[in-house]
Amino acid sequence: MKSYALSLWLALTFLAACFFRVSCPAFGQSLTTGGVTGTVTDPSGAAVPNATVTLKNNDTGAAVSGVSNSTGAYRFALLNPGSYTVSVEAPGFSGAHQNVSVAVGQSSTANVKLEVAASTTTVEVTAQGGYFRPTTATCLPR
């Protein structure tokens, strides 16, 4: 029985050593990305679902778009560190822009409050002119 326990202990020790040898290099790796999260709201603080959110890297010009969920939340992950611009558009609201910095291993927050778009009315007037037919030119004395 003693030799069985010793054999089991040796086998488990060997397996543990193999596991740590394979997985230890992964522990040495550092994070290289960050993220941006936020919430899109209206002037009253209510969530704006289905707003188009675009995140543009100010250094490279690369852009990625997404849509806010039913609670107005959005999230972009696995971003390279740097300076970004968050742009939000939704029907009935004026567009909004906000700058945000992304740092390694952190998720930056960029909450965006949209303003209601001003309503505009365009009136187009079209007139059709009447016909004018001069008969004879008459000069009146002065």
Handedness of CA 91, 92, 96, 102 (dihedral sign): negative
Where residue 11 falls among pLDDT bands split at 50, 70, 90? Answer: low
Average pLDDT, the chain: 82
92's tokens: 């009935």
Q: How many helices (H) and strands (E) does the chain have?
A: 1, 8
pLDDT at 99: 97
Top-confidence residue, 72 or 10: 72
Q: For the chain, list the strands marked E by DSSP.
A: 34-41, 52-57, 63-67, 73-79, 82-89, 96-102, 107-109, 112-113
Q: Comparing 1 with 29, which gets the higher pLDDT? A: 1
* Percent of the chain at pLDDT exceeding 70: 63
33, with CB counted inside 10 A (0-12, 13-18, 19+), is: middle
Cα gap 120→126, rounded to integer Å: 20
Question: Residues 60-88: what's their mean pLDDT?
Answer: 97
